[in-house]
Amino acid sequence: MAITASAVKELREKTGAGMMDCKNALKETSGDIEAAVDFLRTKGLAKAAKKASRVAAEGTVVSLVDGNKGIILEVNCETDFVSKGDNFQGFAKDMAAWALSNETANIEALREAKNSETTELTMKCGEKVDLRRMILDKSEGVLGTYNHGGKIAVLVNLNTDKADAPEVAELAKDIAMHVAAAAPTFLSASDIDEDFKAREADVYRAQLKEEGKPEAMIEKIVLGKLGKLAKDVCLLEQVFIKNPDFTINKLVADVAAKVGGNISVKGFDKVNLGEGIEKKDDNLADEVAKLTQN
């Protein structure tokens, strides 16, 4: 089958692999993008699974916490120049603050309520402005946030009977920073679904075959790798980025002991700017088009 330039470009953005490798992977998998991602991982050509969904787009992600309420709001525009401007940045912060204060139900409700302001900014800057995604969280415990330059925003929700302790607030912030850096997929090992395990197992098997491991050993090795999977993809099992002597589980227990109370991680939310949006890249598109013409 013919491999399109857009498919090669999408696979390259998902994996960071070279364009010829992406083209070949798509040929091997009959154009199936997700199968091609796994094929490249098998060959060791994908840069990292954690980058699989990274896609560029302009705009900003705002995160705010006010008492027991927190919000993440993504606002997009067309160019980096506009995204860095005071008008756009002020608009994004104002929208997040208004939505948080009014406990806006969802992004559709925010768009409807703020349509005139959005249209006004669109006309003023000459670019489409989009209120794209919003996460609003309310908690009886403690909320923490971390924002990495408007590119990544995280909210962490802690259950605790020591909500007033400053150590708990610091813990929530530290875990949010960890989530931004380590990009966990699940909260705990019990949350890993069977489809995810099966897909990872298939990749492991293929990798081991590529390495020439004896057939009789492969399943045993795969089981061992699956046993360690939680340490890579589950927040509570991951090694804390600021102190490798602690897992997140151990860190939470340590702070709980210090404040003399109970603390548990209820959940987390993470938004990467532009995730799922295909950004125009004329130079890359031209280069990919040349490859797919052969």
Strands 263-272 and 130-138: unpaired
Instruction: Look at residue 51 and tell me whether its pLDDT is greater than 50.
Output: no
- Output the pLDDT for position 279: 60
Q: Identify the residue with better confidence: 285 or 170.
A: 170
pLDDT band at 78 (very low <50, low <70, confident <90, very high): confident
Delimiting residues of CATH 3.30.479.20 domain(s) in the chain: 56-138
Average pLDDT of every residue of the chain:
88
Q: Identify the residue with better confidence: 191 or 285.
A: 191
pLDDT band at 294 (very low <50, low <70, confident <90, very high): low
Instruction: Look at residue 275 and tell me whether its pLDDT is greater than 90.
Output: no
Q: Cα(125)–Cα(120) distance, rounded to whole angstroms?
A: 9
Q: Which CATH architecture has domain 1-54+278-294?
A: Orthogonal Bundle (1.10)
Delimiting residues of CATH 1.10.8.10 domain(s) in the chain: 1-54+278-294
Instruction: Look at residue 269 and tell me whether its pLDDT is greater than 60.
Output: yes
- Output the pLDDT for position 104: 96
Instruction: Look at residue 56 and tell me whether its pLDDT is greater than 50.
Output: no
Mean pLDDT on 235-262? 97
Candidates 77, 132, 72, 73; CA nearest to 108 is 132
Mean pLDDT on 80-94? 95
- Output the pLDDT for position 284: 47
Give me the percent of the chain exceeding a pLDDT of 90: 65
Instruction: Look at residue 77 and tell me whether its pLDDT is greater than 60.
Output: yes
Specify whether domain 56-138 bears CATH 3.40.50.720: no
- Output the pLDDT for position 142: 96
- Output the pLDDT for position 282: 47
- Output the pLDDT for position 278: 63
Give me the percent of the chain exceeding a pLDDT of 70: 89
Instruction: Look at residue 50 and tell me whether its pLDDT is greater than 50.
Output: no
- Output the pLDDT for position 47: 53
- Output the pLDDT for position 2: 80
pLDDT digits (tens, 9 = 90+) for 135-159: 999 988 999 999 999 999 999 999 9
- Output the pLDDT for position 272: 94
Mean pLDDT on 25-48? 82
